[in-house]
Structure 1
């Protein structure tokens, strides 16, 4: 089947499509990519050692900026809109949940397979060549951090038919209930424990933010006044939690912090979702007007077709650039982070990483062109795929592919096996 060009896809877009959904998806992932590249405070010292840190750990004045740069809530709002629309369409066509989930998971998991296989090969070969495990652990952990989002989103996506039913029955009560439950999870995790109870909020809190997408889809978040009211509610709750609770200002994790808002996910990110959703959607009429321009919409289509690959590979490219710099005596990495010289080179840093990432995406981006598979599938297959993907991606996001005991590359194979479980099995007796 011939693939249409981006210009042809843009021209063929039906008038009923909400183009702001696509714009926000691309914009959110772009902000994440640029933000990750910006907060990396890397410097090679005179003795040739790499001092790796983060801008957020070095400068507390940057913490309020994370209320803007932590845009994953926007992506979950967009996901709620898209999943609600997709599931309802599937039901109208008579498609069952296993087949629908298979399609959604394939679009998420197939593009990540080449990244995982690349890192498995890299750590195995590098270890055999004598590279110290501490460096491999740091590199693989940094490069695979983006997979935490997929681990959470896979579960939220799998539960979409259930959460959509909750939205239909309880409406805004499902959002309030999700945030309240997220607060209870935090209370248990931060007081009586155990601490790992907090990981439930990867589903509870992000699920509540996902409900906002249903509200948008159903017109229950309409009108500028209502949207600004939601934003005000989110801002008020967020300020109160930070001022009165144990939560830090930074919405992105900090090394050594007693409490992080993002690891595990805390209820603060749910209120950040209210704030961001309200503000962004208040601008929807202007954004809709902009997206009616052929050139602007074509750019969104072009970027949208490969944005997942950019998201998955952007930190791998940065790690490879840092490794290459070390081989060249620290070329380009001698400026002290946060100095005037360091800030002046950030546009060049972004440009270099952007061009290299574009080159990598040109090679691996075709994995986003996931072929649609049809036919019935047993329910256990997408369920198994979701479990394997969530487990493997979650572990890798936290610890990379190297643990204290040595290489742990087999975690990367779990999502790969999950992706394989989504293939259509051959029908017995078929010719």
Structure 2
């Protein structure tokens, strides 16, 4: 008798190298799920008040401490540090230089965002031509593009990741401490001068410094419960001091009721939050790794990771679209008063509806997350660096201001990232497409 054919989950489980740290993939998948569900919850939508980006946080201060759990952006940078160090060291062993390595990272992260920008550019252009209020389109596009702030910050960190790895390999934990200290100095200047713009360097300083905790995880410098507890303790103590005695608010997500935001611009508090979260989460690494040996659990983790960028980039477009549709239809029974009992009871249904819409968007645009293999010669160094700069600049502006201003459509910023991808050679021009290597 023939043995039964292995299921798809069992095949993927068997094909996964034993050297792969599956917990990295799980943390990435869980973090994106928390971000998506968090955004769908804190954004309040009502027939009278319209869309309130941080409605729940603004109206219910009791939710602010919960952001210490649900603000999981540090986890992305933790697993990013682990993955980027692994990738760059592999590139060094194969003799692959910085320029082609950076190009490959930009292809993976930059290509999926191009359809999002072009779709919203078309939506804003058509909306303005049809007589929609510029302020409405400005808010809609800005909200839909909120996820791009993370992408801009993460790309900045990738650009400097090889240099940060050199610092880590030479100075170890002192490189992390030095970066956090510099971030604190930047914060002090920004807060004392009451100029948030002066704090913008911390989008790089804070995240690049904390990103190195991922290096420590990879290198075994966080092995053992004692070290992980110590990291969590340092993070919790630093966070408690900065919030309890310093000027920083409790909420780790921007709230209109706070004079200072911990996340816009990124403050040094986020580094300490990341340390606390990383230390506690890594205490569970061994049982999580055992759980991921189950083929079905690992299969689900792989599925989420295959389209993780698309889920992340489009989940707020789904919310904006559904919210505007219900408001336009004056569907008051489907838009209960935010924070009311009915509102809380209907949150699971709200999330399920948005999950369905986002799934359709993933089906439509997920293919951009799997670009063709790229075997082109190594580019000149300036090309991927320029591409990264143009992508980061465009995404950062749109995450803050959307695509529509007082003077109407602002096409420069949505077109800047695609232009950078073309000029930098990240996306090959028609007729010069990257070739798929032959077996």
CA distance in 2, matches of 1:23, 1:322: 31
CA distance in 1, matches of 2:165, 2:203: 18
Task: Provide the alpha-carbon RMSD of the alignment.
Answer: 1.5
Superposed, which structure 2 residues align to 1:308-327 within 5 Å? 308-327=309-328
- Aligned-residue offset at 1:310: 0.5
Structure-1 residue corresponding to 2:41: 38
Structure-2 residue corresponding to 1:14: 17
Superposed, which structure 2 residues align to 1:69-88 within 5 Å? 69-88=70-89
1:423 equivalenced with 2:417 (yes/no):
no
TM-score w.r.t. length of structure 1: 0.95
CA distance in 2, matches of 1:419, 1:13: 32
Distance 1:99 1:132, change over 3 A: same
* Greater mean deviation of Cα atoms: 84-93 or 400-409: 400-409
CA distance in 1, matches of 2:335, 2:156: 42
TM-score w.r.t. length of structure 2: 0.93
Structure-2 residue corresponding to 1:402: 404
Superposed, which structure 2 residues align to 1:32-431 within 5 Å? 32-45=35-48, 50=50, 52-53=52-53, 54-192=55-193, 194-255=195-256, 257-374=258-375, 375-420=377-422, 421=424, 422-423=426-427
- Cα offsets for 1:211-251 (capped at 9, x unmatched): 00000000001111210111011001001000111100000
- Tell me if structure 2 keeps the 8 A contact 1:103–1:372: no
Distance 1:38 1:195, change over 3 A: closer
Structure 2: segments with no counterpart, 5+ residues: 1-7, 433-439
- Tell me if structure 2 keeps the 8 A contact 1:44–1:333: no
Structure 1: segments with no counterpart, 5+ residues: none
- Aligned-residue offset at 1:11: 3.2
Which secondary structure does the structure 2 equivalent of 1:159 belong to? helix
| Number of matched pairs | 420
- Tell me if structure 2 keeps the 8 A contact 1:80–1:211: yes
CA distance in 2, matches of 1:396, 1:163: 28
- Aligned-residue offset at 1:172: 0.3
- Aligned-residue offset at 1:376: 1.4
CA distance in 2, matches of 1:140, 1:383: 27
